[in-house]
Every structure is written in structure tokens, then in C-alpha cells.
Amino acid sequence: MFIICFEGASAVGKTTTANCLKTIGGAFVVPEVNLLFERPENESPDWYFERQVERWQVANGQSKSYPLVILDGDPFQPFWYCWAYDFIGWQSLDFMKQFYQPKIQNKMIDFPDRYFIFSTNEAELRKRKESDATRQRRGFETHLRMIEPQRRYFQAMQNLSPSKVRFLEAKTVESNVEFVLENISNLVDSNEIEAEVLFSKMAEWLQENKA
């Protein structure tokens, strides 16, 4: 029925919360690219982008059978992630626009019904990282630089489409779950703005605002 997305810093609790909702609420969880697919040795420039489209298609297909589908990570993540690092060593904004726009037009990818942006302080993130032996989180330090730009990006999106984004202070898994359930209980139609228009406006925002 509904497709939502969890975003936020590494170790903030997105995956744990998603799996809890899977256990108690029967949600279907779509993992991030690096857990869902094996990277080829000589990947093409758009390999990662194509896998994000596949993730959306998995989510869209499963939404016909499950009451709630959770994307653990934004399928448009490369769009704002590259911007957050000033495109240094990453694909350009023009490249991303040329990739995503026809996919949106052909209904191959869309924005989730609602984003939940998880946040907590850096000290707590480090504590959670150290206490989780199940994941190495090699890019943890690098990802810390992403936190503030990511929040600004989603605040801009919320300004354009108020019901599309919710900010969540990630204190405990239990409070996260409660917040998510409260904020999807009245979720009917968050498409206040067409996907093509929203993407275009967010591309303009990225062009006009430095990370």
C-alpha cells in the first residue's frame, strides 16, 4: 500500500527500526544497494544508479502484497549524496539529471510516499557504532560530513511538499517505531507535487545551493 523511506547517518538506527517494523507490523524491507547487490569488479558509471532503480521496482512490486514497504535508504541517494561532497570524485549533477529524469517519466522510479529522516548527536552515533559488532561501517567518518547537507536537502524538499518528509529524533528503537506508526496512520496521498516536478525543483535547488 505505502512505500516509506528511512534516511540518516550511519549507525543512527534506520535498519534496526526497519527490521523491528518488519517483525511487529509485517512490513517488507528493501535493503540498501550494498547489501542487496554484489558489486562487479568493473562496474559501469551508472551501475549504482541502476541498482537504485531496481530497489524502487522491488519496493513498488511488494507494495501490492504488503501493507507497508520500507526502503532502507533513499533510491535517489546519489542525487544529494554527490552534492554533499561537492561532486568531487562523484558523478556530476548533469549526469544524474540525465539518468533519473527519463526513468521518472517512464514510471520506472518515483519518490516514496514519505521520508523519515533519522538524527541524533555525533557522540551517540559513535557509541552506537562501537556497540554494533555486526557491521564494520568503513565509511563512518566520511558519512559524518553528510549529516548537515542531507538535512538541508530534505528541509528544502519539505518546503516544496510538506507531507513528504518527517524528521525523527532517533532516541530508541521503540520510540522510532512509535513515531513512524503515528506518522503513517493518516497517510493517504502525499503526492502534493508530481515526481517530475519535484525532481526538477530539487535539481534547481542543488544547483543554487552549496553543500
* C-alpha gyration radius of the chain: 16
- Domain locations in the chain? 2-208
Question: Does residue 87 sit in helix, strand or coil?
Answer: coil
Residue type at 14? K
Distance CA 158, CA 151 (A): 10
Q: What is the reported pLDDT for 173? A: 95
Q: Which grid cell is 36?
A: 542487496
| Fold that domain 2-208 belongs to in CATH | Rossmann fold (3.40.50)
Q: What is the reported pLDDT for 124? A: 75
Weakly modelled stretches of the chain, pLDDT under 70: 128-129, 132-139, 188-191
Residue whose C-alpha is closest to residue 122's, from 137, 136, 143: 143
Q: Model-level pTM?
A: 0.91
